[in-house]
């Protein structure tokens, strides 16, 4: 019993401390922190982004804003690297420790999203979620880890299905001249793809009822 409780408490405490730290830094401070890392700046950015993808309450927008300021369009590549790492990490966190530990990372309210995703899962569902629902990639990864989907299939589908959105993001970002414009383009793209996914789901359900 103790072997299970101690690691769980440790993760909860660390998660809480990291969350409180994330709320105490402004975008300017994040930019300074990344720039001061020098040669290791990309690694610092990837780790900061990964943190927001593992612990759900964290917002990744300020970090992406700071990342564009520091790296320009290369921030897309670094963001994707962080996302790919989170695909593996979140999946195995859920697969190894189950709903209890996932709930500690995402919170009680967001755990409902994870539960909804696990109700209707499969390769096709995963493909569409990765293409159209980039804003909830962390929840998707946790959810798939709670199912019996094989890791190799999950990983290959996740990596390939993420490519179209990444290419579209890069193409649209060519129109950005400032960090603010880059961030707005990213948010608009995310909202647009989510809208397409939601409307498509509604029409598909109506079609199945006929």
pLDDT tens string 11-46: 444 444 444 444 455 556 666 666 666 777 888 888
- DSSP state, 148? -
Instruction: Find the angle CA(144)-CA(197)-CA(66) to the nearest 5 degrees.
Output: 75
pLDDT tens string 69-117: 778 888 899 999 999 999 999 898 888 887 777 776 666 666 666 767 6
CA 57 → CA 18, 109, 146, 206, distances in Å? 10, 11, 20, 34
Mean pLDDT of the residues in the chain: 75
Per the model's pLDDT, the better-predicted residue between 24 and 160 turns out to be 160
Decide: 169 and 186 in contact? Cβ < 8 Å: yes
Decide: 121 and 91 in contact? Cβ < 8 Å: no
Q: What is the pTM of this model?
A: 0.72
Decide: 79 and 87 in contact? Cβ < 8 Å: no
């Amino acid at each position: 019993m103790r072997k299970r409780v101690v690691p769980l408490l440790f993760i909860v405490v660390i998660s809480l401390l990291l969350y409180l730290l994330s709320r105490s830094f402004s975008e300017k401070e994040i930019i300074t922190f990344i720039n001061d890392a020098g040669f290791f700046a990309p690694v610092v950015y990837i780790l900061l982004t990964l943190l927001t993808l593992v612990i759900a309450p964290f917002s990744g927008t300020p970090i992406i804003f700071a990342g564009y300021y520091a790296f320009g369009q290369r921030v897309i590549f670094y963001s994707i690297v962080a996302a790919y790492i989170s695909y593996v990490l979140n999946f195995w966190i859920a697969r190894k420790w189950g709903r209890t530990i996932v709930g500690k990372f995402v919170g009680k309210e967001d755990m409902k999203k994870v539960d909804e995703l696990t109700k209707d899962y499969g390769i096709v569902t995963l493909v569409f979620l990765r293409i159209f629902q980039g804003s909830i990639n962390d929840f998707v990864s946790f959810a798939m880890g709670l199912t019996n989907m094989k890791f190799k299939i999950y990983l290959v589908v996740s990596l390939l299905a993420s490519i179209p959105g990444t290419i579209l993001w890069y193409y649209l970002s060519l129109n950005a001249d400032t960090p603010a414009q880059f961030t707005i383009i990213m948010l608009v793209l995310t909202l647009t793809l989510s809208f397409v996914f939601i409307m498509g789901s509604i029409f598909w359900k109506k079609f199945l009822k006929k």
